Chains A and B, each alone.
Chain A
Amino acid sequence: MAGQRRNEIGRAVPLLAPAYLWLTVAIFLPLSAMIFFSFMTGLPNTGKPWSFTLQNYAAFFQEDIYWRLLLSSLRLAAEVTFWCLIIGFPAAYALAKLLKGRMREAIFLLIILPFWSNGLVRIFSWAMVLREGGLLDTTLNAILPFKISIDLMYSYPAIVIGLVHSYVPYMVLTCYLTLQAIDDSLIEAARSLGASRWQTLRRIIVPLALPGVIAGAALIFVPVVGSFMEPRILGGRTGTFYGTVIEDQFVAVFNWPLGAALSFILLAVVLVVLALASPVLRRATS
Chain B
Amino acid sequence: MAHVSVRNVSRSFGAHKALDDVSIDFPDGGFYALLGPSGSGKTTLLRLIAGFDFPDEGQIAIDGDSVERVPVEKRRIGMMFQNYALFPNMSVRDNVGFGLSVRGEPRHKMAAEVQAALDLVQLGSLGERRPHQLSGGQRQRVALARAFVTRPRVLLLDEPLSALDKALRVDMQFELKRIQREIGITTIFVTHDQEEALTMSDRIGILRDGRLVQEGPPDETYERPGSAFAATFLGDANICEGIAIEGGIRLANGTEINIEKPVKGCTRCAIRPERIRIATSGAPIPAGDNRLHGTILRRVFAGNIITYFVDCSGLELKVLVQNDGSIQPYINDAVRLHWSKASTVPIVSD
Which A positions have Cβ atoms within 8 angstroms of B? Answer: 183, 185-186, 188-196, 199, 203-204, 207-208
Contact = CB atoms under 8 A, between A and B. Distances in A.
A172 B78 CA distance: 34
Given A193-B99, A193-B146, A193-B150, A185 B83 contact: yes
B103 interface: yes
Interface string B207-239: 000000000000000000000000000000000
A188 B88 contact: no
Contacts of A185: 81-83, 85
- Give the dominant DSSP class at A's interface: helix
Given A195-B102, A203-B102, A190 B79 contact: no
Contacts of B146: 189, 193
B50 A192 contact: yes
Interface stretch (B20-28, B69-77, B288-296, B317-325): B69-77
Given A203-B98, A204-B87, A189 B73 contact: no
A208 B156 CA distance: 26
Given A185-B81, A190-B87, A192-B52, 14 more contacts: A183-B83, A185-B82, A189-B79, A189-B86, A191-B52, A192-B77, A192-B79, A192-B156, A193-B73, A194-B74, A196-B102, A203-B98, A204-B87, A208-B88
A189 B85 contact: yes
Contact of B73 (A183, A186, A195, A208): A195
| Residue among A185, A190, A193, A203 with the highest chain B CB neighbour number at 10 A | A193
Contacts of B74: 194
Interface in B276-309: none
B102 A194 contact: yes
B253 interface: no
| Residue among A186, A189, A192 with the highest chain B CB neighbour number at 10 A | A192
B41 to A, nearest CB: 18
A194 B51 CA distance: 11
B89 A190 contact: no
Interface in B132-182: 146-147, 150, 156
Contacts of B51: 192
B83 A194 contact: no
Interface residues of B, number: 27
A208 to B, nearest CB: 6
Given A194-B103, A196-B73, A204-B87, A188 B98 contact: no
Interface in B75-109: 76-79, 81-83, 85-89, 98-99, 102-103
A22 B52 CA distance: 52
A186 B82 CA distance: 11
Contacts of A194: 73-74, 76, 99, 102-103, 150
Interface of B: 50-52, 71-74, 76-79, 81-83, 85-89, 98-99, 102-103, 146-147, 150, 156
B85 A186 contact: yes
| Residue among A183, A196, A203, A207 with the highest chain B CB neighbour number at 10 A | A203
Nearest to A186: B85
A194 B77 CA distance: 8
A153 to B, nearest CB: 45
B83 A195 contact: no
A188 B150 contact: no
Given A195-B73, A207-B89, A190 B81 contact: no
Given A183-B85, A194-B73, A188 B52 contact: yes
Contact of A199 (B72, B76, B102): B102
A186 B102 contact: no
Contacts of B52: 188, 191-192
A247 B156 CA distance: 64
Contacts of B72: 188, 191-192
The list of the 7 closest CB pairs from A to B, nearest first, reads: A193-B99, A189-B85, A185-B85, A192-B79, A195-B102, A207-B89, A191-B72
A194 B97 CA distance: 12
Contacts of A203: 98, 102
| Residue among A185, A190, A194 with the highest chain B CB neighbour number at 10 A | A194
20 contacts: A185-B83, A185-B85, A186-B87, A188-B72, A188-B81, A189-B81, A189-B85, A190-B98, A192-B72, A193-B73, A193-B78, A193-B99, A194-B74, A194-B150, A195-B98, A196-B73, A203-B98, A207-B89, A208-B88, A208-B89
